[in-house]
Amino acid sequence: MSDALAQEQAKARAVDVARNAYGRLLALLVSRTRDVAAAEDALSEALTRALTTWPTQGVPNNPEAWIFTVAKNRLFDDARRAKRWGASPLTELEEMTAPTPETNVPDRRLRLMFVCAHPAIDESVRTPLMLQVILGLDADTVGRAFLVPPRAMAQRLVRAKRKIKAAGIKMRDPDPEELPARMGAVLEAIYGAFATEEDDGLRSEAEFLARMVVALAPGDPEALGLLARILYAKARVVPAAVFVPLSERDPETWNRDEIAEADALLAKARRARQLGRFQLEAAIESVHCARIHTGVTDWTALVFLYEGLMHLAPTIGAAVARAAAVGEARGAEAGLRALSLIDESALETFQPAWATRAHLLARAGDPVAARAAFARAIELTERESVRAYLSQQRARLDR
């Protein structure tokens, strides 16, 4: 193997550990120090050092433990210098063992999430804070997702971390009576991780965290709904170089076990008779997945479910998805009418609105307007495969 290749591989390995172990390692470090910002700094320094030393000295046998130990030592040195945290947490920190496949260190991520969801933390920052500390997303990405300017978001996040440290909010499993008040923000963050981007790492992280929440609160219908929602989507993931819209995907390629598990979770959630946003989201996915049994998509049911979603959790995405479903259930004209009822200014830069409008116009027999809508949709699309698909659809208008 050439040196250059070995260096590339070492670098890739460091990035890989950063991606897969970030939240787990950070939660472990914070569990002793309560200082989220200091733990973040130490962890990021350890990851940087891995990026520079692994390519020349080789990847250690246990990369995760290596990074953890470097971060821990850095925290320990800092604390000793500043005489922070008093004697006992310092000793605990020193005695902490690095996570190795053999030691089976308990996963502290959920505890850290419940710290972020503490009622003493400003409500608007709870979910963003979780996305940052558990998933390592930067303030820019989190800010974009919450439509807050990056600098304002960064300030809120810094303030929240300072509060956790100064007020002495400790990591521990929440009492059962504390769960309901904190559950909402925790589920939001997991869903955010799942939906932020088409990122496999974040998606499997979201599934893992959702399973942990369900294990902690097996009767919570929204937690069940969220896990079902994630599994339905995962069941349909087929690696493909080209983009295929959901309605054209072949159900034979879907994962029946995952769909069955999601069905069971959703059925269990329904028995609580407490409808919520994530159960509706899951129900929508279940209608799509039902095609594996029935061969058809029940668009009328989807219209109904999207209307429920717009009522419980009104978003521009739900309104546009409803219009698309109306277009399938009652014809393209009806779909366009539904789309025209949505606030125009909100749709201007919303890619799904333009893609939906283009398809509906094409089906309604207005190729000129459809072409313009496709052009706008393509302009707003970031993913190359989706752009290619939309261009193909536009080209069909000319035939």
Q: Which residues bind other proteins (CB under 8 A)?
A: 118, 120, 166-170, 172
- Nearest-approach distance from CB 184 to other proteins, in angstroms: 19
CB 276 within 8 A of CB 248: no
CB-nearer residue toward other proteins: 165 or 363: 165
Say how far apart CA 45 and CA 299 lie, in whole Å.
51
Closest to other proteins by CB, 111 or 229: 111
Name the minimum Å distance from CB 122 to other proteins.
15
CB of 86 to other proteins, least distance (A): 9
Q: Which two tokens stand for residue 234?
A: 């995962």
In whole angstroms, how close is the CB of 161 to other proteins at the nearest point? 14
Residue with tokens 């804070």: 129
CB of 174 to other proteins, least distance (A): 9
Nearer to other proteins, 172 or 396 (CB): 172
* Minimum CB distance to other proteins smaller for 129 or for 142: 129
Q: Shortest gap between Cβ of 110 and other proteins (angstroms)?
A: 16
Of 172 and 293, nearer to other proteins (C-beta) is 172
Centre a 10 Å sphere on the Cβ of residue 352 and count the other Cβ atoms it contains.
17
Q: Are 290 and 298 in contact (CB under 8 A)?
A: yes
Q: Which whole-number Å values give the CA distances from 192 to 88, 128, 177, in the listed order? A: 36, 9, 25
For residue 214, CA distances in Å to 32, 55, 62, 112, 316 come to 25, 40, 30, 16, 29
- Judged by beta carbon, residue 166 or residue 246, the one nearer other proteins is 166
Nearest residue (CB) to other proteins, 161 versus 322: 161
C-alpha gyration radius of the chain: 24
Identity of residue 161:
K
For other proteins, the closer of residues 216 and 313 by Cβ is 216
* Minimum gap (Å) between residue 168 Cβ and other proteins: 5
Q: Are the CB atoms for 343 and 337 separated by under 8 Å? A: no
Pick from 105, 125, 139: which is nearest to 32 by CA? Answer: 105
Q: Do residues 29 and 75 make contact, with C-beta atoms less than 8 angstroms apart? A: yes
Nearer to other proteins, 129 or 269 (CB): 129
Return d(Cα 390, Cα 397) in angstroms, integer. Answer: 11
Q: Exposed, middle or buried by CB within 10 Å (0-12, 13-18, 19+), for 31?
A: buried
CB of 220 to other proteins, least distance (A): 21
Q: Which is nearer to other proteins, 120 or 395 (CB)?
A: 120
Q: From the CB of residue 307, how many other CB atoms can be counted at a distance below 10 Å? A: 16
Q: How far is the CB of 32 from other proteins (least distance, A)?
A: 13
Enter the DSSP assignment of 131: H
SS (H, E, C) 59-120: CCCCHHHHHHHHHHHHHHHHHHHHCCCCHHHHHHHHHCCCCCCCCCCCCCHHHHHHHHCCCC
Cβ at position 28, least distance to other proteins in Å: 18
Both structure tokens of 336: 């366009």
| Whether 302 contacts 247, CB under 8 Å | no
